[in-house]
Amino acid sequence: MTFVGRERELAALEQFWRSGRAECIPVTGRRRVGKTYLLEHFAQGKRAVYYRCLLTGTAEQLPVLGQALADLAGDPVLQAQPPATWPAVLALIEQLARHERLLLVLDEVPYWAARDASLPSVLQNWWDGRGRTLNLMLVLCGSAVQMMEGLLTGPAPLAGCITGRMPVRPLDFRAAADLLGFADPVTTLAAYGILGGVPLYLTFFRPERSLRDNILTAIVSPASRLYVEPQAVFAAHHQAYDARSALAVLRVVAQGHHRWSDIAEAAGVNTSSLTRVMEPLIGDLGLIERVLPVTETHPTRTYYTQYHLTDNFFRFWFRFIEPNQGHIEFGDVERITDLILAQLPDYMGLPFEAMCRDWVRMASAAGGLPRRVGRVGTWWSPDHQVDVVGLDEEGRAAILGEAKWHAQPFDYQELERYLGHVRALGSLPRPDVLHLLFARAGFTEDVRRWAAASNARLLTPEMML
């Protein structure tokens, strides 16, 4: 897999590595997001030991960890009989990290902690007594984000050991574009709208193939890895969850049910049980997010919290693959692929809006906008919606925008509708608010004339990339 993006993450890890002091760094992020690949890339050229924790007890894990440490030490006696107890393993770590810098990565720590509740206390006691004096960078990695937070925050034993933090999130659409390698910007953004920012998923598309051929071979084919990916995620890694209810909730959210009561009714889950189902989907897996208008911090009688899928591929799979698996299994893959392509413009609405908001965040951080914005989101009321809203430090709207993915140029009628939504914001927009219009197919001449005479920018997929 080609390594792209992650410049900020690598820079932060290198800073911890060169700090000259003992570091204990949690690396967190949902499954498939590329944490292990990032750490493997970071470890190149360093004295490093990587151990992936298993869903087994400490007695089974310590000999494997001890063997990895003994291999780095290069001592034939240790290699023949590696340490297999906590005192022996910790003593060897101390020996290896006494003078020369050592990188020790414990991946999927929640697996080990699930089988041995004493693990955090053992590591904490050792760190407080000996570990913090060593030339050591200890990385604790885990995909169960909520469980990792429970292990490393508040009154948890390891909370006081942490010297930094490293969240790993899915790639943004620009980094994904580098990995995808398509020459055409529209195809690039469409592929990101389908696959999202999970690096593993992005590698299944080939730039020499058309979008149709990629969908057909990498997703719709029953022999492809992605054909059953959402089901496989729960079957292989989340036995503790109610997979049936979780998949039902993801399904109805992908179908457009975004209110709590609507989700519960459509998924056939009572509202009290929905809390237990939602918790890991939001916390551990990061597949669902709570969404409020960017102007709000708490639900009110006017604005109610909505729930949206964060993962483009899960949204795509529940929209197109799961409902058609019967047809696909019987070989009707060509027709289903053509059906997907016909409905793709409608599907791309939500992913494209999210990409436009990400563009605003990146442009603001890079100093590419007249005024930096601190919060970027969307805004809605019962009768109005603005796709992109960027708030300045005073909470005023400095950026407002609209996103359209359809095949026709953005026309003046759509512009008038957008300006009507803007007027519904009342006094929230600044007098010098910048309007950003995003369109897959460009803009009609009258919209261009309006933009030239207004404080506005018109952006196409090519300009976004």
Max Cα distance, the chain (Å): 80
Task: Please give the pLDDT value at position 240.
Answer: 56
User: CATH classification of 354-464 is 3.40.1350.10, yes or no?
Assistant: yes
Task: Please give the pLDDT value at position 242.
Answer: 76
* Terminal-residue alpha carbon distance, the chain: 22
Report how far residue 138's alpha carbon sits from residue 25's, in angstroms, rounded to the nearest whole number: 6
Sequence-ordered strand ranges (E) for 319-374: none
Specify whether the CB–CB gap between 420 and 372 falls below 8 A.
no
Pairing of strands 397-404, 385-391: antiparallel
Ordered mean pLDDT values, 10 residues apiece, the chain (465 residues): 75 96 91 87 95 92 96 92 95 95 94 90 93 96 73 74 90 94 97 95 96 98 93 64 84 92 92 86 86 82 79 95 94 96 96 98 95 94 94 96 97 98 96 97 98 98 97
- The residues spanned by each domain of the chain are 7-167, 174-347, 354-464
Number of H-type helices and E-type strands within the chain: 23, 12
Pairing of strands 136-142, 375-380: unpaired
Task: Please give the pLDDT value at position 52.
Answer: 93
Structure tokens at 301: 């009688």
**Considering the domain 174-347 in this protein, what is its CATH number?**
1.10.10
391: phi then psi, degrees, rounded to nearest 5: -100, 140
Pairing of strands 375-380, 306-309: unpaired
Q: Given 3.40.50.360, 3.30.1330.60, 3.40.50.150, 3.40.50.300, which CATH number is that of 7-167?
A: 3.40.50.300
Task: Please give the pLDDT value at position 7.
Answer: 87
Report how far residue 83's alpha carbon sits from residue 62's, in angstroms, rounded to the nearest whole number: 8
Question: What is the pTM (predicted TM-score) of this model?
Answer: 0.88
Specify whether the CB–CB gap between 169 and 29 falls below 8 A.
yes
3-state SS, residue 1: coil
